[in-house]
Amino acid sequence: MTRNTRSSLSLLVALAAIAGCADESGRPLELKFGHVGAPGSLYAASAEEFARLANERLGERATVVVFGASQLGSDEVLLQKLRLGTVDFALPSTIMSSTFAEFGLFEMPYLVEDREHMGRIEEEILWPTLRPIVTEQGYDIIAVWENGFRHVTNSIRPIDTPEDLAGVKLRTPRGIWRVKMFQTFGANPTPMPLSEVFVALQTGVMDGQENPLAQIVSSRFHEIQPYLSLTGHVYSPAYVTVNADRWGRLPEDVRLILEETARETQRFVYDTAERMETEFLQEMVDANVVVNEPDLESFVAVSQAVYDEFGKSVTGGRALLEHAFSLTSD
């Protein structure tokens, strides 16, 4: 092999790596998908199903590898790694409201009534209005999955009305509106990474927490929290997010496969979430957790103050709220 031939081959390998087809050694590119879910969580199941389908379709061109809780860091760290290009996909949820003010829409209590309503919000608000805000900051969203409807567990008492939250030290994810909401409800909320919550509950640093059932059970919170209140106070979407520049340098056919697969995976996510809700609720009942259905109207009534503040403090917030509520099935 001549020196010119070797130089040409080296250049082709380098160009392939830049394009996203291979790494510096010529092997298929490894695309890292990071999420904060525990094994057995909805996040883990969703990301693994996406990777399975995508890898079948990508063949030798690229491989999606999934990294779960504690492997790549918190949602905040994952977004930083996404910006730096050391992670290729992330699955942020609540943290988006701290990064992009308008995403606080999905932190509003009792906004999303069901997944069909969320589908209409996705089509009419998220893609045309919210996605461009993300791309302006160097990210992009290629699909919408979910974290789910959130409920409260605690070690003190059943929560039937907002008054029952008075003085409860409640862990929340990082997100200004989640904190404001529970302050309005009367609790004492504290943001904390998910990885630290079990010990905080076990030691009494926190009295309770709020999460979808899939996160509660996969994180084993039901083993140390005797009360579950089905508040359903927030529906949390999860966004399959990429670095816009790095994404744009992948070959077009690879991008098409990944985006189509991510959006097709949404049906699996919703079906799995519904199944998990039923199974995990029964698992908690079997574990002798006291389950109650709160007076939701009392929570909705108090929520008006949160809507008003969002409408005043976020540019276009009132219009976003009105549009989202107009898409209900009523």
The set of residues, in sequence order, having a beta carbon less than 8 Å from that of 53 and lying 6+ positions away, is 261, 264, 265
Output the pLDDT for position 70. 67
Domains of the chain: 3-274+287-326 (3.40.190.170)
Output the pLDDT for position 74. 87
- Read off the pLDDT of residues 82-97 as tens digits, 9 standing for 90 and up: 999 999 999 999 999 9
Average pLDDT over residues 136-158: 97
Question: What is the value of pTM for the model shown?
Answer: 0.88
Output the pLDDT for position 71. 81
User: How does strand 139-149 pair with strand 208-211?
Assistant: unpaired
- Read off the pLDDT of residues 104-122 as tens digits, 9 standing for 90 and up: 999 999 999 999 999 999 9
